[in-house]
Amino acid sequence: MKLIVLGPQGSGKGTQAELLANHFRIPHIDAGRMLRDESSKNTIRGKKIKARIEKGELIHDEIMLYLLKNRLKKQDCRKGFVLDGFPRTLNQAKQFHVQNSLDKVVFLHISDSIAVKRLSQRLQCENCGTIYGVEIKPKKNRVCDKCGGLLFQRIDDTPRVIKKRLMIYHKQVKPIIDFYTAKRLLVDFDGSKDVAFIFKKILYSLRK
Ligand code: AMP
């Protein structure tokens, strides 16, 4: 199963991507996390990536596509993958489409007001990256259920910065949504609904 999960920050795309990856026993490839791992390497490329992430700028398409191509060559992707955080530009979508086939592109839509509310309450594990929020709360305050790591709030998860990120997101995602709609790959879900309900709906749409 080869899937892409698209949606604004706070739409629950990371959670659904993780559920899908576990269900189909395929890797959940989070583009942002992949880039952060690369940026921690003491290489010229790692340093360039780090500088762009810190400025909140997208990594150049060629680097992103190159890293992703290498990741997808790994043994664990032979049965498929769930991509999260990719593509972020129409060019990435087009270039990726030339070399890869996809089963579906899952799109989760939510209103900006819900996104702001959810993101302002979001906490992430500094160790394994697991995200907690309004719906999924950790059992122990600020401690990750999975690995015991500390939970932190991202500095870009404040209402003012979130609104700016959402504005940029809308501008970038529209042509990508249009691209996948034209390819008849897009399945669209209401991300404001309950996690389990959305997951069931997604699985159903993948059976067709
Ligand atoms: P995220 O964890 O999705 O918020 O991504 C963190 C940062 O990684 C972004 O601000 C970008 O600098 C970079 N990034 C993530 N995904 C992509 C992508 N598909 N293309 C280019 N840059 C990306």
Per-residue pLDDT tens over the stretch 116-151:
888 888 899 999 988 888 778 899 999 999 999 999
Ligand 1 atom nearest to CA at 88: 19
The strands making up 123-125's β-sheet, listed across from edge to edge, are: 131-132, 123-125, 151-152
Which of 117-126, 155-164, 180-189 has the highest mean predicted lDDT (pLDDT)? 180-189
Question: Ligand 1: does its nearest atom lie under 6 Å from the Cβ of 31?
Answer: yes
How high does pLDDT run on average in the chain?
Answer: 92
Residue 147 phi, psi (nearest 5):
-130, 0
Residue 167 confidence (pLDDT): 85
- First CA to last CA distance, the chain: 13
Give the active site residues. 13, 88, 122, 154, 165
Ligand 1 centre distance from Cα of residue 157 (Å): 15
Question: Ligand 1: does its nearest atom lie under 6 Å from the Cβ of 46?
Answer: no
Nearest CA to ligand 1 atom 2: 32
Q: How far apart are CA 206 and CA 4, in angstroms?
A: 12
Question: Ligand 1: does its nearest atom lie under 6 Å from the Cβ of 96?
Answer: no
**For the residues 101-129, what does the mean pLDDT come to?**
91
Question: Ligand 1: does its nearest atom lie under 6 Å from the Cβ of 161?
Answer: no
